[in-house]
Structure 1
Amino acid sequence: MLYHLLFPLHQSYAVLNVFRYVTFRTAGAILTALLISLLLGPALIRKLQELQIGQSIRDDGPAGHLQKAGTPTMGGLLILASVLIATLLWANLTNRFVWLALFCTVWMGAVGFIDDYLKVVSKNSKGLSVRTKLLWQVIPSLLIGLFLYINPVDPFTTKLTIPFLKDWMPDLGWGYVLFVALVIVGTSNAVNLTDGLDGLAIGPILMTAAAYTVLAYIAGHASIAHYLQVIFVRGSSELTVFGGAIVGASLGFLWYNAYPAQLFMGDTGSLALGAALATLAVLVKSELLLLIVGGVFVAEAISVIMQVFSYRTTGRRVFRMAPLHHHYELNGMAEPKIIVRFWIVSFILALLSLTTLKLR
C-alpha cells in the first residue's frame, strides 16, 4: 500500500525513490511487523486472559508442563496480524506471488483457529478430527499447485531443483501439483508438532524465514540468479517483503513466547507459519532445500512417525515420548537447554542451506 501511494510521487520528491527497492521495503516490513507484535502483544494477552482462553496440558506429558496450564494461547492471531499488515503496507500488491503466500497463510491460520477454538473455547479436547483438519489443509495446497501448473512462471515451473546439483532437474509434470500439496501440508504439520516448548518453534521459524527471504531475493534477481546458477523466477523478489514480515513478527512474538512463556501461538500460528514457509519454498523453486533449512521440523515429524510405526507394529517405543523434544525432557534435560540447542541446530542448518548456492 505504501509502495503504491508513495513511489508514484518519487519524481516530485526524490527521497521517495527508496520505495522502488525491495531491500528497503523488506527492512520496513521487518520493523513494522516487529513493532506491531510488541505493541499489540500485551493487549492480546490481557484479552485472552479475560476470556479464559488458556492452554490445556496433556496428563501423560512431562510433569513440568502442568504449571503451564491456563497460559493464554491462540497467540498466532498476533503473528498473523503482524505479517498481514506489514506485507500489505510494504509489498507491491500487483505481485501474484504475494497474494498466493498470503492466501495460504490466512487459510491455514483459519484452520488452526477453528481447531484452537474447539479445544479451548468449546472445551472439545480433540478439536478438529485428523481427517477434517487434513482435508482443509489439502484444499489450499492443491489450489496453489494447480494455479502454478496452469499459470507457469517460466519453463521450470514443474521441474524439481535438487540441492547441491545444478544440471539434474526432473520434470514432475502433473505430479508437481501433488508435490506442492505434500510440501505445504507436511511442513505445516511438522511445525505444529515442533510447537511444544516455550519458544521452541518460533526460533527455527525465524531462522528458516530469514534464509528463504535471502533465497527469494536471489531467485528474483536475474543477474544474481544467473551468477549463482539458480532458477530465475521473475517477480519472486517481492516475496522478500513477505519473508521479512515473518521474521519481524517472529521476533516480536518471541518477546512474549520466550521461556517462561506468557503466550502460546497455538495451531492458529503453527499451521499458518508452517504453510507460509512451505509456500515461500515452492514459489522460489527451493522446495527440497526445506528439508535442510527446516531440519528441526523434519526431525520432530520423523520422530513421531517412527514412534507411531514402531508402537503399532512391535508394541515398543523408539523414544520415551514423541515428538523428539519431549524425549529429551523425560531424559532430564532442562527445557531452556533443549530450546537453545534446537535454535543452534536450526541456525547451523540455515547457514548450510545457503552454502548450497555455491556448492553445486
Structure 2
Amino acid sequence: MRQILIAGVISLAVAILLTPVLIKVFSRQGFGQEIRVEGPKSHQTKRGTPSMGGVAIVAALWAGYWGAHLVGLATDGEGPTASGILVLSLATTLAVVGFLDDFIKIRKQRNLGLNKTAKSVGQLIAAVLFGVLALQFRNEAGYAPASKQLSYVRDIDAITMGSVAFVVFVWLVVSAWSNAVNFTDGLDGLAAGSMAMVLGSYVLITFWQYRNACVGGPKTAEPGCYTVRDPLDLALIAVAGGGACLGFLWWNAAPAKIFMGDTGSLALGGMLAGLSITTSTELLMVVVGALFVAEIISVVIQIAVFRTTGRRVFRMAPFHHHFELSGWAETTVIIRFWLLTAIACALGLSLFYSEFLTASGG
C-alpha cells in the first residue's frame, strides 16, 4: 500500500512541475497545435497552443513507477516485474509513434501528421512485441503476464486462442484502445480527466486481485482467487498513470495551456490495452472505459453510414463535437462526459466485485 501511495505522489508531482516547463519550451520553439478547419469555430482560438504534452505524462509515469520501486527495494519490497515493464514499454512505444505524429504536424503546419499506414505499422509493431513477450516470463506458479483465453473479470475457459490468434487479438485491442483515447482527446481535459478515473478504478481492481491472488498454481487455487501474475506491480502502473493524468490536467483543464497530443493519447490508450490484458479483464475494460468506446464507435458509425448512404448520423465525429455543434458549451460537454465516465467506472467496479462474490461463494 505504501508503494502505491508513493507512486501516485511522485507521478502527480512530476506531471505538475514538468508540464509548465514544457509549455515554456514548446511555446518558445513554436510547437503549436494546428486545428481542423471543419471543426467547431470556437476551437480556432486554440490554434498555436503547445502540443506534445504527453511527454510529461510518460515521464511522470516512469518516475512514479521507478520511484515507488526504489523505496520498495530499500524496505525489502518486490522489484519490477515482467507485467509492469511490458505495460510501460507498450505505452512508451506508442508514445514514440504519437510523438513522431505530433512533430510532423508541427513542422509541416498541418493537422495531419503520420499517414494512416505509418501510424498503423507503429501500433502493429508495439502490439506484436507486447503480445509475444506477454506469453513468456512465467513465474513459479506457472502464470505468464497474459493468458491466451478471452477474459471478463477472469479467464473464460470456453474461449481459448492459439499463440498466433492471441497476438492478432492483442493487436486489435491495442489499436482499438489507442485510437479510442486518441479520438477522445478533442476537448480540454476530457481525455486526461476520464483517464484518471478509469486508472483509479484499476488501482482498486489490481489491489483487490493482489489481496485475493491464487497461491501455488491452479491446482491449489482457492475459489474466487485471481491468476493474474503481478497484480501489485500493475497497481503501481495504474496509480502512476492516474497521478500523471491528474498532474497534467492541472494545466490541460479548460482553457488548456497545453495539449497532450498523440504522444499522450496513444500512450494512455496503450496503457489501457496493456492493463486489460495483463489483468485478464479485457471485456470489463469495455465497461469501465465506456466513454472511449463510445467515442470510437461514433467515428466508425459516421464513416460507415456516410460511405453507404452519403448522410451523416452526427453533425461531426467524434461525437463530443456533435454536442458542441448542437449548442452545448465545451465545458458542459466535458463535465457531463466526466460524469458518464464516473458512472461507467462505478458500474465496472460493481460488476467486478459482484463476480468475485459469486466466484468465491460469498
**TM-score, normalising length: structure 1:** 0.89
Q: What letter is aligned with 1:200?
A: L
Structure-2 separation of matches of 1:71 and 1:56:
8
Q: What letter is aligned with 2:147?
A: T
Q: What letter is aligned with 2:318?
A: P
- Counterpart of 2:184? 194
- Counterpart of 1:4? none
**Residue 278 in 1 paired to residue 273 in 2?**
yes
**Residue 76 in 1 paired to residue 54 in 2?**
yes
Q: Write out aligned runs for 1:88-237 (5 A).
A: 88-91=66-69, 92-152=78-138, 154=143, 157-162=147-152, 169-174=158-163, 175-222=165-212, 229=224, 231-237=226-232
Change (3 A) 1:124 1:325: closer
**Which residue of 331, 340, 353 corresponds with 1:358?**
353
Structure-2 separation of matches of 1:292 and 1:108:
23
- Counterpart of 1:298? 293
**Which residue of 32, 35, 58 corresponds with 1:54?**
32
Identity %: 39
Aligned CA-pair RMSD: 2.0
Detail structure 1 runs of 4+ shifted over 6 Å in the superposition: 224-228
CA contact (8 A) 2:18 2:56 kept: yes
Q: What letter is aligned with 1:55?
A: Q
- Counterpart of 2:359? none
Structure-1 separation of matches of 2:310 and 2:118:
28
CA contact (8 A) 1:55 1:71 kept: yes
- Counterpart of 1:8? none
Q: What letter is aligned with 2:35?
A: I
Q: What letter is aligned with 1:195?
A: D
Shift of 1:221: 3.2
Structure 2 residue matching 1:345: 3-state secondary structure: helix
Structure-1 separation of matches of 2:82 and 2:192:
27
**TM-score, normalising length: structure 2:** 0.88
Matched positions, count: 337
Gaps of 5+ in 1: 1-22
Per-residue CA deviations over 1:305-350 (Å, capped at 9, x if unaligned) read 0000111111011111000100000000111010001100101111
Structure-2 separation of matches of 1:198 and 1:304:
19
Structure-1 separation of matches of 2:37 and 2:28:
25
- Counterpart of 2:358? none
Structure 2 residue matching 1:288: 3-state secondary structure: helix
Structure-1 separation of matches of 2:156 and 2:38:
50
Greater mean deviation of Cα atoms: 343-352 or 210-219: 210-219
Q: Write out aligned runs for 1:24-63 (5 A).
A: 24-63=2-41
Structure-1 separation of matches of 2:37 and 2:149:
46
Structure-1 separation of matches of 2:111 and 2:17:
31
Structure 2 residue matching 1:358: 3-state secondary structure: helix
Change (3 A) 1:65 1:146: same
Gaps of 5+ in 2: 70-77, 216-220, 356-362
Q: What letter is aligned with 2:162?
A: G
CA contact (8 A) 1:145 1:176 kept: yes
- Counterpart of 2:43? 65
